Amino acid sequence: MKRPLTIFLFAIAAAVAFGAGLSAHMKFDKADPAAKAALTAPPGSIQVWFTEAPDPKISKLDLKGPSGPVKLTGLHVMDKMSLMALVGDAMPDGAYTVSWQSAGDDGHVQKGEYTFSVRRPK
């Protein structure tokens, strides 16, 4: 009677361990400018943090605003857990979307986006 119970418990433990491994993809942690931030001046850079170190070979950051794509330059891994790029174009007032792509330790490509806005005081 002990043997079937042992096999059953081992099977449950294996399923839990396997399931935890499947959900171990890199995830978005935070950003600067922050998601949904309302800025009174354009940012000089965009930085996105993740739960794992991003792979620089496949990492991308894109910024789109009310006038279309905004040039970003110098994309690099910063602080081991983030991507950073400098804003290379003027940014008029309006809504902006940051799109990111990277992969963590498991090599699976992850993508996402968030928004913020710029509105200078009058």
pLDDT value at residue 20: 42
pLDDT value at residue 5: 56
The CATH code for residues 26-118 is 2.60.40.1220
Tens of pLDDT, residue by residue over 64-100, are 999 999 999 999 999 899 999 999 999 999 999 999 9
Domain residue spans in the chain? 26-118
Q: Mean pLDDT, to the nearest integer, of 11-18? A: 48
Reported as a pLDDT band with limits 50, 70 and 90, residue 101 is very high
Distant-in-sequence, close-in-space partners of 33: CB < 8 Å, separation ≥ 6 = 39, 43, 46, 116
